[in-house]
Every structure is written in structure tokens, then in C-alpha cells.
């Protein structure tokens, strides 16, 4: 596999993870991001994933090359200090052009399937969002999660009444998930910054919403 590198120094690498590629190998096997780890470092220990992305989400994924960098990055994530920006193409779109959604999320399991659901018993989840463009029944959103709950961006878009295009769990229809981990910033010394380009499967819908 050839996964593009968006940022690299002697501490961390930020990969441009393709949509559809899991970060860990599944029980049934198959390719994963971890398959390329031997090519990223010749050290006996590491590399390590500093965080995770959903299999169907594309974009910025931080990999630590050294144990000290892993601890530093995980500390930033746990403290909520990592600035994460997502782009999503959603079905319909919110009535307003910007806002902040504070809606607790809890995991709900039905048989073998599970999803995150908004409810008072859930954990605090906050997402700032802004409409960057609209067109043909779709909207292009920029989302900045202030917390790091599982499926937060996906569940919050659905809670806004505009599920992400292609989100088969939260009501966005069939096809590929139109969600990109667009940018990430870690306030380390020196800082880590990366921006991911939109994947091929999102470009037509983004163009229809005004992206050029």
C-alpha cells in the first residue's frame, strides 16, 4: 500500500488515510493502516497510532514514531487540546449557516449492530459547525468537534437533521461516506499541522456545493 504522508518529522507522521481502510486489522484479516508500519520506522519499538478514525472516514491520521511522542500526543487528545477540522457533505442541510451543537451521546446496541444516540444519559459531546456551501439538495459543512466521542461528527450531523451523504448507519443513504478529517493541529513543541485533500469520491459533491 502507498498511503500519502501529509506531515513527517522524527516524532510523528500524519497519514492521509484512504476511505474504506481500517486502522487495525479485523478478525477476518484484510489490509489495514498498521500494515505499513514497518516501512515507516526501523526502530524495534513502534510506530503507534495516536488516535483512530472510522474505517469509512478519510484524512488526517496521526502516527507516533517514538514512545515519548505517543504519550505527548495522547495527552493532547485526552485533554481535548487537539484542533480537529472535518469536512462533510450532508443530505439537505441545517437551516442556519453556523452554530454549536451540544448533544450528549450514548452507545446503543441492537443485536450485533450499534450506533451512538443523542440522549441525556450520554457523555458530553460538543461540535461547532459552519456551512461552507450548498447545492442540489446537499450542503458542505466544516465541523470542529470540541470533544472526541465515537462517531461524534456522524451522530451530530444526523441530530441536526442532515446526515452525512453515504452514512448507512445514521441515515445518509448508500454509497461511500462523504466525511474527511480535513485538518489537525497538535500544540507540541514544535507543533504538528496537516491538511488532507478531499478524496476522489467526495469531489463531485463538493464541487456541486461550491468547492473549487
Active-site residues: which are they? Answer: 54
User: Where on the phi/psi map is residue 39: left (φ > 0), alpha (ψ -120 to 50), or beta?
Assistant: alpha
Q: Rounded to whole angstroms, how far apart are CA atoms 113 and 200?
A: 29
Partners of 164 in beta bridges:
90
135-138 — which CB contacts under 8 Å span 24+ positions?
135/208, 135/209, 135/210, 136/208, 137/91, 137/92, 138/89, 138/90, 138/91, 138/92, 138/93, 138/165, 138/205, 138/208, 138/209
Amino acid at each position: 500500500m502507498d498511503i500519502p504522508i501529509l506531515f513527517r518529522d522524527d516524532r510523528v507522521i500524519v497519514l492521509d488515510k484512504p476511505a474504506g481502510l481500517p486502522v487495525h486489522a479485523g478478525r477476518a484479516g484484510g489490509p489495514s493502516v498498521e500494515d505499513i508500519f514497518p516501512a515507516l520506522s526501523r526502530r524495534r519499538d513502534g510506530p503507534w497510532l495516536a488516535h483512530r478514525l472510522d474505517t469509512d472516514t478519510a484524512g488526517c491520521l496521526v502516527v507516533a514514531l517514538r514512545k515519548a511522542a505517543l504519550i505527548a500526543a495522547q495527552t493532547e487528545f485526552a485533554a481535548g487540546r487537539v484542533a480537529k477540522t472535518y469536512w462533510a457533505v450532508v443530505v439537505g442541510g441545517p437551516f442556519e449557516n453556523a452554530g454549536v451543537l451540544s448533544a450528549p451521546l450514548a452507545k446503543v446496541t441492537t443485536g450485533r449492530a450499534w450506533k451512538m444516540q443523542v440522549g441525556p444519559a450520554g457523555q458530553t459531546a460538543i461540535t461547532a459547525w459552519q456551512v461552507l456551501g450548498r447545492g442540489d439538495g446537499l450542503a458542505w459543512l466544516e465541523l470542529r468537534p470540541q470533544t472526541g466521542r465515537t462517531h461524534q461528527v456522524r451522530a451530530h450531523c444526523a441530530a441536526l437533521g442532515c446526515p452525512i451523504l453515504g452514512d448507512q448507519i445514521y441515515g445518509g443513504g448508500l454509497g461511500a461516506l462523504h466525511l474527511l478529517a480535513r485538518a489537525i493541529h497538535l500544540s507540541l513543541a514544535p507543533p504538528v499541522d496537516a491538511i488532507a485533500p478531499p478524496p476522489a469520491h467526495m469531489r463531485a459533491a463538493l464541487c456541486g456545493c461550491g468547492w473549487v
